[in-house]
Amino acid sequence: MMIVKKDILDAFRYRHATKRFDSIRKISKDDFEFILETGRLSPSSFGYEPWKFLIIQNQELREKLREVSWGAQGQLTTASHFVIILAKTNLSYDSDYVLNHKKNVQKMPEDIIKNSTARMKSYQESDLPMLNNERAMYDWACRQTYIALGNMMTAAAMIGIDSCPIEGFNYKLVNEILEKDGLLDHGEWRASVMVAFGYRETDPQRAKVRKDIEQTVKWVK
């Protein structure tokens, strides 16, 4: 058990936000499918899986995105695989997406769907108000995508693959580019975060730094 714990912590220490990758080295099909599977299996609020993973391998599209993504200049030109994680724009308790997900993915019986829908309505009206607020709904979906993002990067590090999460882009222009290419299903999805995968070109210049555990953790007894 201690060996497993050490391996996991070593992977966290190994991982760093890789700015440039070795453009010659490519991730194998099997390894990248493993990374994607850890994203697919990630938890989400109410199990709604409000994400879609766009793997951008088209070089022309990468160049278009690079023009409006200041935080991905080195990654878009060198990464083996470049992913944009999309967030669902409408997760209303009575939306077609949610009702279809309950019925056809979660395989809920009709009576359970009815009770679940009532619970969800109350949640979205009172507990975390978001109904009739497109931005709040989108932000809620985006928070779920970051769970998948973290799991994918950790899984990659566990098998010696580098990654870099990227928020440094113009969200409006990126979404316009993706919509023009028919990748957002007419506004049903919107870009949440980018992440690049590959093998580092050089080792980081300095060791990973973090606050001490005492500055980060507070026990309430």
Q: Which residues pair with 163 in a beta bridge?
A: 17, 197
Cβ 37 vs Cβ 128: under 8 Å? no
pLDDT digits (tens, 9 = 90+) for 67-113: 999 999 999 999 999 999 999 999 999 999 999 999 999 999 999 99
- Rg (alpha carbons) of the chain, rounded to whole number: 19
Residue 145 lies in a domain: yes
Residue 88 lies in a domain: yes
pLDDT digits (tens, 9 = 90+) for 107-123: 999 999 999 999 999 99
Record the pTM.
Answer: 0.94
Residue 54 lies in a domain: yes
Band (205; pLDDT cuts 50, 70, 90): confident
pLDDT digits (tens, 9 = 90+) for 129-174: 999 999 999 999 999 999 999 999 999 999 999 999 999 999 999 9
Residue 46 lies in a domain: yes
3-class SS at 197? Answer: strand
Domain coverage including residue 171: 2-92+131-216
d(CA 206, CA 204): 6
Residue 210 lies in a domain: yes
Q: Which residues pair with 194 in a beta bridge?
A: 84, 166
Closest CA to 38 of 75, 66, 11: 11
| Percent of the residues in the chain that have a pLDDT greater than 90, as a whole number | 94
Residue 84 lies in a domain: yes
Residues 6+ apart with CB under 8 A from 177: 61, 64, 65, 68
pLDDT digits (tens, 9 = 90+) for 27-63: 999 999 999 999 999 999 999 999 999 999 999 999 9
The DSSP secondary structure of 64-90, one letter per residue, reads HHHTT-GGGHHHHHH-SEEEEEEEES-
Number of domains in the chain: 1
Residue 80 lies in a domain: yes
The domain that holds 170 is classified in CATH as 3.40.109.10
Residue 190 lies in a domain: yes
